[in-house]
């Protein structure tokens, strides 16, 4: 396998891990924050919200997934461009919509479908550019 | 209204600033030799000793807290579309701060993704 296609495949695998962890994490956080309710912007209100946040199990599950996201994100950024990884990660929004339609039988508005198509075309456009355009430390040393 | 705009500014500039600092740090760290648990742990060990990583973390934490606060004020269908601006801000940062080559195809992709995310999250 050529160096270029190996780079593409491992970048793709890491971006997929990122997308899964980030979506699971965000979902858990949203659920946890809904349990806590609106935050009052006073010193006491913020302190109270903080206390509720750090003792909420759903929030901690979300944080666990976000650690998985952070690990895959840091790893992929050690070789790939930020301007490649960041838009590619948006594929998660399109994936969530497809999952909602297939498994939850949600009805999706035309506007949202247009958004999904735009994201997919955008990710494909970014995906066919070179994953790395700068030098990497390990290569620079070699 | 002003508090939402300020919150979004903290969210967008905090996350892109933090991610750019972390990208810089990870490029300095160098990629793991292989994607095995042992090499990944060694990589993470080296990564957390990089100063740029620790410059990025508080910025991302600030952005994360802004997200939590915004989500308690406004529906997710408003917060996420507005935060989609970070795709454009982040690409500008990648080009001018990190020196990445952002080709026309990549720019077109970023703009489509940014608009697409806004549409999807708006529902």
The larger pLDDT score, comparing residue B112 to residue B76, is at B112
Q: Is the pLDDT of residue B70 over 80?
A: yes
What is the model's pTM? Answer: 0.81
Q: What is the pLDDT along chain A (142 residues), one digit of tens a residue?
A: 688 888 889 998 999 999 999 888 888 887 888 888 888 888 888 888 888 888 999 999 999 998 899 899 999 999 999 999 999 888 888 888 887 788 777 888 999 999 999 999 999 999 999 999 987 655 444 4
Q: Are A17 and A92 in contact (CB under 8 A)?
A: no
Binding-face residues of A in 23-42 toward B, CB within 8 A: 29-30, 33, 36-39, 41
Contacts of B15 in chain A (CB under 8 A): none
Distance to chain B for A142, nearest Cα, Å: 11
In the DSSP assignment, the letter for residue A55 is T
Q: What are phi and psi of B43, to 5 degrees?
A: -60, -45
**Closest-CA residue in chain B for A123?**
B109
Q: Which of A12-16, B11-15, B80-84, B89-93 has the lowest mean pLDDT?
A: B80-84
CA pair distance A11, A85, nearest whole angstrom: 8
Any A CB within 8 A of B48 CB = no
Q: Point out the residue among B44, B68, B109 whose CB comes nearest to the CB of A122.
A: B109
Q: What is the pLDDT of residue B50?
A: 95
**How many alpha carbons fall within 13 Å on the CB side of residue B92?**
10
Any B CB within 8 A of A93 CB = yes
CB distance B44–A71 less than 8 Å?
A: yes
Q: What is the pLDDT of residue A14?
A: 92
């Amino acid at each position: 396998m050529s160096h270029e296609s190996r780079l593409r495949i491992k970048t793709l695998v890491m971006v997929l891990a990122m997308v899964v962890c980030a979506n699971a994490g965000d979902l858990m956080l949203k659920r946890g924050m809904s349990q806590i309710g609106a935050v009052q912007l006073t010193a006491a209100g913020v302190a109270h919200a903080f206390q509720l946040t750090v003792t909420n199990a759903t929030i901690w599950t979300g944080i666990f997934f976000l650690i998985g996201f952070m690990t895959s994100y840091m790893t992929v950024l050690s070789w790939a461009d930020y301007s490649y990884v960041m838009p590619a990660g948006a594929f998660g929004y399109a994936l969530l919509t497809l999952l909602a339609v297939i498994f939850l039988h949600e009805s999706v508005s035309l506007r949202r479908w247009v958004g999904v198509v735009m994201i997919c075309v955008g990710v494909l456009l970014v995906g066919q550019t070179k994953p790395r355009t700068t030098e990497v430390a390990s290569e620079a040393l070699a | 209204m002003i508090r939402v705009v300020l919150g979004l500014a903290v969210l967008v500039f905090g996350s892109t600033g933090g991610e750019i600092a972390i990208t810089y740090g990870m490029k300095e760290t160098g990629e793991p030799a292989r994607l095995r648990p042992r090499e990944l742990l060694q990589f993470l060990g080296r990564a957390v000793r990089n100063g740029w990583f620790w410059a990025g973390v508080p910025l991302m934490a600030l952005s994360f807290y802004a997200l939590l606060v915004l989500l308690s004020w406004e529906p997710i269908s408003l917060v996420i579309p507005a935060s989609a601006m970070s795709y454009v801000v982040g690409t500008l940062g990648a080009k001018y701060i990190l020196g990445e080559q952002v080709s026309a195809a990549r720019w077109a992709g970023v703009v489509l993704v940014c608009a697409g995310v806004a549409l999807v999250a708006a529902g």
